[in-house]
């Protein structure tokens, strides 16, 4: 039991730490892109800024609105953060180094992330504020819709690798990273993960100009921080998934080394590059309209996903002629 | 291990929430806990009726999610079901496609109610420039008219 | 640990189901419904039917319960109306009882009734052990799980029972067309 506890902490604490530094990285990178300085007062070069923010949020008062359904109001951020952290159980950090190497790991992650809608929906409903309600409606419609193309892309990758286990998906890419045969699909994937994590240019739920802060407008202090952490944990998990699905996960190019430390470091490096892409897009693109967002999903990405799926399985079956 | 992790994570989050409840100040007053509406007094219930399209999205999501779930076993056993199974899968996907075409043709998911093609595109810069020059040359010296 | 959970989870599910029926707040009722689904999915996962358990999570909790939440938010029901309609509904209890009684028959297959003698009804301490020591309860699922159940499901579905798959596809097609027709406003040809 103590060993289990230790192992869980070994996953959770660095995860929360990396989320803290992700927020700092986002502010710094966006500041550089917009020719500002960014946070530079707390600690050397602003490095202690996230901890200052976290402590501030810890000590602030959590206001619970009088009209709110209090239990659900507090439960919804709890659900969001718990589910965002739970998905990490299936991620392999290096060869053979996953908390639980599930044979259906991809499906497990899909199931856990599909439950994340509840936090959003319940938060908006329980707060009993108009902004929160509209924000949660939009956000849940968006999350639910983009789950379908996400599942389609995952389906294609699974049909190529022939396994739902993350470890085997990574090991499959020893010859070639999947981004090379699947470059068009990876572009679709990038669009989907931006929408699935509520990031710019698809940050409709939190579009400040219309909805103030969307579904979490009434949440303050730590309940708000839970939403924030949950959102960044899901961004991080999407970055890691991108590197697992398309960039060979923990594999080091050309098989230079196979030390687990280096492998996990390489996985972190790849994921950081994907996260940099998230920030880059946020600093570059304006927000789309909500109807455009839905039309993009239902009329472009989903049919494209199905068409690509048919193409891929036909190709696989055609070139695997010996087994028939 | 997985079971432990799944049970431990909510506990961990709960402990974080508990620590916050212990440390944080709490002195609510009437103005502080009133629903936030940018300084206005809130009128009517926040839980209003909303557009049917959201409902339709949820309905269609169930159907497509089920279809995708039917395809998961196919992806894993693609090489073990012979050409017969492959063609069955193709027929299944064809049936999905019929639904898809119907959905796209009926245009129900268009939230703006007007197809985006009907929105008149803004004048291209060159046309605008020409129009501006024409206006300037025809109207004499009344800048307010332009 | 797992055996203990296998014994406990059905009872938890039943408790959640009862509180689902008695909850006055419709949102709370849906939350209890989700709790029932999650418990059942955990039960399936512990039995080794991992793919079914995860599809329970994805379909029932991740899609259908969300639809219920949407609907309940949309209906905009006041609590007073609900309790008044509840009084009306209680008039049909005799009919409900008549219809419901035959379902008690299914309970005879449950571990509670499996013992040879009436003694096992009351000997609650050995109930769990008696159930588990009966190997037929768990063995077939283990056999199924040993062959990666998603893989065997795929082979079955696409080669042995293809007609059922196509039926399912046609039903799903109808499920797409139905709501779209309902949502189409005939007069203007747009959503209403």
Query: Stretch A159-173: mean pLDDT, rounded?
Result: 86
User: In this model, does residue B30 exceed pLDDT 80?
Assistant: no
Residue of B nearest to C186 (CA): B106
For residue B127, pLDDT over 80 is answered with no
Q: Of the candidates A69, A108, A140, which has its C-beta nearest C54's C-beta? A: A108
Q: How far is CA A88 from the centre of its chain?
A: 11
- Neighbouring subunits of B (3+ Cβ pairs under 8 A): A, C
Report whether pLDDT(C157) > 80. Answer: yes
In a domain, B60, yes or no: yes
- B23–A58 C-beta distance less than 8 A: yes
Round the average pLDDT of chain A to a whole number and report it. Answer: 85
Which chain B residues contact residue C192 at CB under 8 A?
52
Q: Please, are residues B35 and B42 in contact by the beta-carbon 8 Å criterion?
A: yes
Closest Cβ opposite residue B99 in set C59, C148, C173: C173
Contact assignment for A89 to B5 by CB distance below 8 Å: yes
Return the pLDDT at A235.
Answer: 92
Q: How many domains does chain A have?
A: 2
Largest CA distance in chain C: 70
* Helix (H) or strand (E) segment spanning residue C135: none
Specify whether the CB–CB gap between A157 and A313 falls below 8 A: no
Interface of B with C in 78-107 (CB under 8 A): 80-82, 84-86, 88-89, 91-92, 95-96, 98-100, 102-103, 106-107
Interface check for B79 against chain A (CB to CB < 8 A): the answer is yes
Chain B residues touching A163 at Cβ < 8 A: 76
B34 in any annotated domain: no
**Which residues in chain A have Cβ-Cβ distances shorter than 8 Å to B103?**
298
* A243, pLDDT greater than 90: yes
Query: Could you say which residues from 169 to 228 on chain A have a Cβ atom under 8 Å away from some Cβ of chain B?
Result: 212, 217-218, 221-223, 226
Domain membership of residue B7 (yes or no) is: no
Residue B17 touches partner A, C-beta closer than 8 Å: yes
- Residue C160 pLDDT: 80
User: How close does chain A come to B125, measured CA to CA in Å?
Assistant: 21
Same domain, A131 and A230: yes
Domain that holds residue A303: 60-323
Q: Determine the average pLDDT of the residues in B57-70.
A: 89
Per-residue pLDDT, averaged over A253-258, amounts to 77
Nearest CA in chain A to B54: A141
What ipTM did this prediction achieve? 0.83
Pair B24, A62: CB distance under 8 Å: yes
pLDDT in tens, C66-119: 888 887 776 666 655 555 666 666 677 788 788 888 777 766 655 555 544 444
Highest mean pLDDT among A164-168, B24-28, B120-124, C36-40: C36-40
pTM of the model: 0.80
C contact set with A (CB within 8 A): 27, 31, 34, 50-51, 54-55, 57-58, 61-63, 66, 69-70, 73, 148, 150
Q: CB C176 to CB B95 under 8 A?
A: no
How would DSSP label each residue in B78-105?
A: GGGSHHHHHHHHHHHHHHHHHHHHHHHH
* A36 and A170 inside one domain: no
> Considering chain C, what is the average pLDDT of its residues?
72
Q: Do A65 and B34 touch (CB under 8 A)?
A: yes
What is the tally of structural domains in chain B? 1
Q: Given a cut of 90, is residue A207 above it in pLDDT?
A: no
Name the fold adopted by C2-109.
1.20.120
Q: What is the reported pLDDT for A44?
A: 82
Are A169 and A69 in a shared domain? yes
Claim to verify: residue A33 and residue A114 sit in the same structural domain? no
Task: Assess if residue B93 is contained within a domain.
Answer: yes
Report the gap between the CA of A272 and the closest CA in chain C (Å): 29
Interface residue A63 vs chain B (CB under 8 A): yes
Q: Look at A114 and C54 and tell me if their CB atoms are within 8 Å.
A: no
Lowest mean pLDDT among A196-210, A302-316, C98-112: C98-112
- Asked if C175's CB is within 8 angstroms of B54's CB, the reply is no
Average pLDDT over every residue of C126-154 = 53
How many contacts, defined by CB atoms under 8 Å, are there between B and C? Answer: 142
Residues 103-132 of B with CB under 8 A from A: 103-104, 109-112, 116
Domain regions of chain C by residue span: 2-109, 161-192
Residues of A in contact with C55 (CB under 8 A): 107
Q: Is the same domain home to A22 and A77?
A: no
Domain range holding B74?
A: 50-113
**Residue of C62, C73, C180 lying closest to B106 (CB–CB):** C180
Q: Which residue of C has its CA nearest to A119?
A: C66
Chain A hits for C61, CB-CB cut-off 8 Å, are 114-115
Is the pLDDT higher at B66 or at B43? Answer: B66
Share of chain B above pLDDT 70, in %: 59
Q: Which of B56, B61, B90, B108 to mutate to test the interface with C (most CBs of C within 10 A)?
A: B108
Higher pLDDT, C14 or A216: C14
Is B54's CB within 8 Å of C151's CB? no
Least confident of A253-257, B55-59, B110-114, C13-17: B110-114
Domain presence at residue B137: no
């Amino acid at each position: 039991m103590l060993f289990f506890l230790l192992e869980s902490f070994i996953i959770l604490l660095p995860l929360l730490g990396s989320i803290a530094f992700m927020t700092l990285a986002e502010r710094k990178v966006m500041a550089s892109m917009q020719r500002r300085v960014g946070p530079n007062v707390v600690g050397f070069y602003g490095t202690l800024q996230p901890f200052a923010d976290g402590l501030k949020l810890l000590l602030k008062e959590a206001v619970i609105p009088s009209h709110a359904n209090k239990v659900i109001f507090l439960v919804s951020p709890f659900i969001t953060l718990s589910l965002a952290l739970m998905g990490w159980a299936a991620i392999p950090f290096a060869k053979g180094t996953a908390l639980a190497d599930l044979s259906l790991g991809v499906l497990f992650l899909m199931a856990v992330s599909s439950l994340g809608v509840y936090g959003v929906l319940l938060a908006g409903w329980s707060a009993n504020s108009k902004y929160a309600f509209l924000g949660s409606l939009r956000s849940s419609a968006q999350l639910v819709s983009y789950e379908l193309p996400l599942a389609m892309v995952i389906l294609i990758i699974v049909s190529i690798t022939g396994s739902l286990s993350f470890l085997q998906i990574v090991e499959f890419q020893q010859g070639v990273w999947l981004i090379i045969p699947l470059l068009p699909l990876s572009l679709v994937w990038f669009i989907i993960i931006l929408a699935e994590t509520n990031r710019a240019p698809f940050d409709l739920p939190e579009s400040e100009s219309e909805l103030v802060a969307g579904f979490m407008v009434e949440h303050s202090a730590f309940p708000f921080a839970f939403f924030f952490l949950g959102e960044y944990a899901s961004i991080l998990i999407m970055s890691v998934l991108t590197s697992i699905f398309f960039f060979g996960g923990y594999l080091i190019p050309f098989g230079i080394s196979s030390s687990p430390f280096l492998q996990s470091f390489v996985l972190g490096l790849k994921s950081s590059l994907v996260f940099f892409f998230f920030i880059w897009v946020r600093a570059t693109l304006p927000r789309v309209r909500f109807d455009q967002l839905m039309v993009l999903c239902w009329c472009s990405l989903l049919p494209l996903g199905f068409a690509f799926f048919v193409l891929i399985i036909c190709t696989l079956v055609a070139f695997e002629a010996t087994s028939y | 291990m997985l079971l432990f992790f799944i049970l431990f994570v909510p506990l961990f989050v709960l402990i974080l929430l508990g620590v916050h409840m212990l440390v944080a100040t709490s002195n609510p007053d009437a103005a502080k806990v009133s629903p936030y509406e940018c300084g206005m007094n809130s009128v009517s219930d926040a839980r209003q009726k909303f557009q049917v399209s959201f409902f339709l999205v949820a309905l269609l999501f169930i159907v497509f999610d089920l279809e995708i779930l039917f395809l998961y076993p196919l992806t894993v056993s693609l090489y073990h079901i012979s050409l017969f199974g492959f063609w069955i899968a193709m027929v299944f996907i064809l049936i999905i496609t019929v639904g898809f075409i119907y959905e796209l043709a009926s245009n129900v998911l268009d939230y703006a109610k007007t197809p985006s093609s009907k929105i008149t595109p803004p004048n291209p810069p060159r046309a605008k420039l020409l129009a501006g020059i024409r206006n300037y040359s025809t109207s004499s010296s009344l800048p307010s008219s332009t | 640990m797992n055996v203990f959970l296998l014994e406990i989870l059905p009872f938890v599910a039943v408790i959640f189901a009862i509180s689902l029926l008695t909850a006055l707040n419709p949102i709370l009722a849906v939350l209890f419904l989700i709790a029932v689904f999650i418990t059942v999915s955990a039960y399936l996962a512990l039995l080794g039917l991992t793919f079914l358990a995860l599809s329970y999570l994805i379909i029932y909790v991740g899609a259908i319960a969300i639809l219920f939440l949407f609907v309940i938010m949309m209906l905009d029901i006041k609590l007073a109306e609900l309790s008044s309609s509840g009084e009306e509904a209680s008039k049909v209890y005799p009919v409900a009882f008549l219809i419901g009684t035959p379902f008690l028959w299914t309970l005879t297959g449950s571990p509670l009734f499996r013992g040879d003698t009436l003694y096992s009804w009351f000997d609650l301490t050995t109930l769990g052990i008696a159930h588990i020591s009966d190997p037929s309860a768990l063995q077939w699922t283990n056999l199924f799980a040993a062959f990666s159940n998603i893989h065997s499901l795929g082979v079955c579905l696409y080669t042995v029972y293809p007609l059922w798959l196509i039926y399912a596809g046609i039903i799903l097609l109808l499920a797409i067309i139905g709501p779209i027709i309902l949502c189409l406003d005939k007069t203007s040809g747009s959503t209403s």
